[in-house]
Protein backbone atom coordinates (compact mmCIF):
# COMPACT_ATOMS: atom_id res chain seq x y z
CA UNK A 1 0.00 0.00 0.00
CA UNK A 2 1.37 3.40 -0.97
CA UNK A 3 2.31 5.90 1.71
CA UNK A 4 2.31 9.62 1.05
CA UNK A 5 3.75 12.77 2.51
CA UNK A 6 2.24 16.16 1.83
CA UNK A 7 3.29 19.78 1.69
CA UNK A 8 1.63 23.09 0.99
CA UNK A 9 2.94 26.19 -0.68
CA UNK A 10 1.54 29.66 -1.24
CA UNK A 11 1.93 31.43 -4.57
CA UNK A 12 1.23 35.10 -5.22
CA UNK A 13 -1.53 35.02 -7.84
CA UNK A 14 -0.25 38.28 -9.37
CA UNK A 15 3.00 36.44 -10.23
CA UNK A 16 1.04 33.99 -12.41
CA UNK A 17 -2.02 35.94 -13.52
CA UNK A 18 -1.68 39.72 -13.80
CA UNK A 19 -4.60 41.60 -12.20
CA UNK A 20 -5.55 43.23 -15.50
CA UNK A 21 -6.27 39.76 -16.98
CA UNK A 22 -9.02 39.09 -14.40
CA UNK A 23 -12.52 40.54 -14.68
CA UNK A 24 -15.34 40.04 -12.20
CA UNK A 25 -19.05 40.69 -12.48
CA UNK A 26 -21.39 42.12 -9.83
CA UNK A 27 -22.12 38.65 -8.40
CA UNK A 28 -18.42 38.12 -7.70
CA UNK A 29 -17.83 35.54 -10.44
CA UNK A 30 -14.44 36.12 -12.04
CA UNK A 31 -12.86 34.96 -15.27
CA UNK A 32 -9.38 35.20 -16.73
CA UNK A 33 -9.62 37.11 -20.01
CA UNK A 34 -6.15 36.37 -21.29
CA UNK A 35 -2.69 35.89 -19.92
CA UNK A 36 0.25 37.51 -21.70
CA UNK A 37 2.84 34.81 -22.31
CA UNK A 38 0.45 32.04 -21.24
CA UNK A 39 0.86 30.21 -17.96
CA UNK A 40 4.65 29.90 -18.23
CA UNK A 41 5.24 30.84 -14.56
CA UNK A 42 2.83 28.16 -13.33
CA UNK A 43 4.26 25.59 -15.76
CA UNK A 44 7.75 26.29 -14.41
CA UNK A 45 6.56 25.66 -10.84
CA UNK A 46 4.78 22.43 -11.83
CA UNK A 47 7.83 21.20 -13.78
CA UNK A 48 10.21 22.05 -10.94
CA UNK A 49 8.15 20.30 -8.28
CA UNK A 50 7.48 17.36 -10.62
CA UNK A 51 11.23 16.82 -11.07
CA UNK A 52 11.37 16.32 -7.30
CA UNK A 53 8.48 13.81 -7.56
CA UNK A 54 5.86 16.13 -6.03
CA UNK A 55 2.38 15.89 -7.56
CA UNK A 56 -0.07 18.78 -7.36
CA UNK A 57 -3.30 17.45 -5.89
CA UNK A 58 -5.21 20.70 -5.36
CA UNK A 59 -4.97 24.43 -5.87
CA UNK A 60 -7.32 27.02 -4.48
CA UNK A 61 -7.51 30.78 -4.24
CA UNK A 62 -6.77 31.89 -0.69
CA UNK A 63 -7.23 35.64 -0.44
CA UNK A 64 -4.77 37.25 -2.84
CA UNK A 65 -2.71 34.06 -2.93
CA UNK A 66 -2.96 30.59 -4.45
CA UNK A 67 -2.74 27.68 -2.03
CA UNK A 68 -1.08 24.62 -3.58
CA UNK A 69 -1.26 21.17 -1.99
CA UNK A 70 1.32 18.60 -3.08
CA UNK A 71 1.85 14.91 -2.39
CA UNK A 72 4.84 12.63 -2.81
CA UNK A 73 5.03 8.88 -2.38
CA UNK A 74 7.24 7.73 0.50
CA UNK A 75 9.65 5.19 -0.91
CA UNK A 76 11.32 3.48 1.98
CA UNK A 77 12.06 -0.16 2.66
CA UNK A 78 9.78 -1.87 5.14
CA UNK A 79 11.30 -4.16 7.73
CA UNK A 80 9.81 -7.64 7.64
pLDDT band at 5 (very low <50, low <70, confident <90, very high): very high
44-51 long-range Cβ contacts below 8 angstroms, 24+ apart: 45/11
The domain locations on the chain are: 4-73
User: 4-73 in CATH: which number?
Assistant: 3.30.1410
Using CA atoms of 10, 15, 17, 19 in order, give the dihedral in degrees to the nearest 10. Answer: 110
The whole-model pTM stands at 0.69
Query: Does position 73 have pLDDT exceeding 80, yes or no?
Result: yes
Q: Give the pLDDT confidence score for residue 22 in this predicted structure.
A: 82
The predicted-structure confidence for 7-40, as pLDDT tens digits, reads as follows 999 988 877 777 788 888 899 888 877 766 667 7
pLDDT band at 77 (very low <50, low <70, confident <90, very high): low
For residue 15, the SS3 value is: helix
Amino acid sequence: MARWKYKTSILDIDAVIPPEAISCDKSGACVVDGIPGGLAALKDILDSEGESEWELVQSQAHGEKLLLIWKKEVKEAFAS
